[in-house]
Amino acid sequence: MAADSVAVFRIVFGLVVAGSSLRFLLKGWVDTLYLAPAHHLTYVGFEWVQPWPAPLMYAHMIGLAVLGLCIALGYHHRAAAVLFTVGFAYAELIDASLYLNHYWFVTLAAVLVAALPVHHRWSLDARRGRVAPSATVPAMTVWALRAQVAVVYVFAGLAKLNSEWLFDALPMRIWLPDRAHLAVVGSLLELPSTAFVLSWMGAAFDCTIVGWLLWRRSRPFAYVAVIAFHVATAMLFPEIGVFPWLMIGSTLVFFSPDWPTRLRTRLRLPARRVGATNTPAAMCGPRLSRRVTVFLAAFAAVQVIVPLRHLAYPGDVRWTDEGHYGSWRVMLTEKVGFLEFRVRHADTGQEWLVEPILVLADWQVRQAAVRPDLLHAAAHLVADYYRERDGRPVEVYADSWVSFMGRRAQRMVDPNVDLAAQPRTLLPQSWILPLEPG
């Protein structure tokens, strides 16, 4: 297949992640999210991942921006992509309360960008002879990138096929009135009917857009829908950051692999010579090794297993969060919680109440109050705090109340279970109370 579209994917990906890293720096988030908190709510098995000291943490984020530009330019592409993947994954593993679906997408896409031959076209590596310039790539390269984008839409659509989203317009009915200040559409966002319309349109879009993009005749109209959908999402929910723009750019890979060349011809733009790509050798293109092919097969299997693993856990994943990470459950749940810990010295029976702010920042508390795994991590931090201060172990119990989808608040965890004594594992946690019927 023509190598044009995968080269565009590489360029768009590199520019977006570079811009995202710079945005992180300019917003001051390196300090507020990584350096300021006294503790971090880590992922199970990754408790050892901690932020660098201040100068190195800033250097790390600057490095990610530079590596993103190197990927876009195709400059020492393979090394830049591998280093970016490792560096970005490290930054995201520091604190689980920072998890966002688009960070997970960036991590997976970075793996593919590092593994696939996306730098033989329109790159400095090809221009300077580090790799053989090529006008073609193996078909699997194009389809692997398409599959990565498709998995986001498909699983996000499947997750929306539930009664709250379709028949109660939740959480849209809760969120949209808060956007009533927006110009032109503000008054419409207050109407309950708008929440229902947007909920159904969102589910229909996610469930079907891949099919429309794959069909050549509907592809242009489908891409217009992609742009409209993500621009509207960015306007209504600016907190999701660069995700809409990343998806708009990434979805271009569904067009014919030679679409940039065709577009340039239609616009009668001159072609820039970046290496001899019209030779017989260049037209043959790079090949995927057996090792890369096996890796892509395993990678594809992971892409299916990870989003579905929540089915192996009891209860509703929207409530328990067990199996939530990497499942593409995009903006699907509204939970508001209250959390307080009851700490007890086992030998003396002395008890007292502790606010989670003792060991967490405000933004971490908001996440720990509604996500059981983070609440559990916070309980261990409280236990560690008093063990270090007093030199003896304590028991930690949680008084946790959560309102799910605007319902009456209910307890999320068993208040009689010493969470400090419960190991942090990926196994189902019996101390998470079931969601009561709404």
Number of compact structural domains in the chain: 3
Query: Do 91 and 126 fall within a single domain?
Result: yes
Q: Is residue 437 part of a domain?
A: no
Query: Do 242 and 367 fall within a single domain?
Result: no
Query: Do 94 and 1 fall within a single domain?
Result: yes
Contact yes or no for 257/3 (Cβ under 8 A): yes
Query: What tokens does 209 get?
Result: 């857009």
Query: Do 129 and 210 fall within a single domain?
Result: no
The domain boundary, picked from 80, 107, 137, lies at: 137
pLDDT at res. 240? 87
Query: Do 98 and 211 fall within a single domain?
Result: no
Rounded to 5°, the CA angle 48-51-55 comes to: 145
Range of the domain at 403: 334-421
pLDDT at res. 169? 97
Query: Do 219 and 88 fall within a single domain?
Result: no
Task: Name every residue whose Cβ is closer than 8 Å to that of residue 112 and which is 6 or more positions away in sequence.
Answer: 144, 145, 148, 299
Q: Is residue 322 part of a domain?
A: no
Task: Name every residue whose Cβ is closer than 8 Å to that of residue 424 and which is 6 or more positions away in sequence.
Answer: 44, 47, 373, 376, 377, 380
Query: Do 10 and 129 fall within a single domain?
Result: yes
Determine the Cα–Cα distance for residues 365 and 320; give it in Å rounded to an integer.
17
Q: Is residue 65 part of a domain?
A: yes
Query: Do 170 and 306 fall within a single domain?
Result: yes
Pick from 80, 109, 54: nearest CA to 242: 109
Q: Is residue 30 part of a domain?
A: yes
Residues comprising the chain, all counted: 438
Look at residue 352 and give its three-state secondary structure: strand
Query: Do 114 and 146 fall within a single domain?
Result: no
pLDDT at res. 273? 52
Look at residue 357 and give its three-state secondary structure: helix
Contact yes or no for 344/395 (Cβ under 8 A): yes
Mind giving me the DSSP string for 10-43?
HHHHHHHHHHHHHHHHHTTHIIIIIIS-SS--PP
The domain boundary, picked from 137, 165, 182, lies at: 137
Which residue type does 156 have?
Answer: A
List 354's β-bridge partners, or say none.
341
Query: Do 161 and 226 fall within a single domain?
Result: yes
The answer to whether the peptide bond before residue 314 is cis (omega within 30 degrees of 0) is no
pLDDT at res. 274? 45
The domain boundary, picked from 111, 137, 163, lies at: 137
Pairing mode, if any, of strands 335-344 and 410-411?
unpaired
Query: Do 133 and 170 fall within a single domain?
Result: no
Q: Is residue 77 part of a domain?
A: yes
Query: Do 204 and 301 fall within a single domain?
Result: yes
Q: Is residue 381 part of a domain?
A: yes
Per-position pLDDT tens, the chain of length 438: 999 999 999 999 999 999 999 999 999 999 999 999 999 999 999 999 999 999 999 999 999 999 999 999 999 999 999 999 999 999 999 999 999 999 999 999 999 999 999 999 999 999 999 999 999 999 999 999 999 999 999 999 999 999 999 999 999 999 999 999 988 888 999 999 999 999 999 999 999 999 999 999 999 999 999 999 999 999 999 988 889 999 999 999 999 999 999 988 888 777 655 444 555 444 557 889 999 999 999 999 999 999 999 999 999 999 999 999 999 998 899 999 999 999 999 888 899 999 999 999 999 999 999 999 999 999 999 999 999 998 899 999 999 999 999 999 999 999 999 999 999 999 999 999 999 987
pLDDT at res. 275? 46
Q: Is residue 433 part of a domain?
A: no
List 396's β-bridge partners, or say none.
343
Q: List strands edge to edge, sheet with 335-344.
A: 351-354, 335-344, 395-404, 410-411
Determine the Cα–Cα distance for residues 253 and 9; give it in Å rounded to an integer.
7
**What is the sign, positive or negative, of the torsion defined by CA atoms of 329, 109, 103, 50?**
positive
Q: Is residue 69 part of a domain?
A: yes
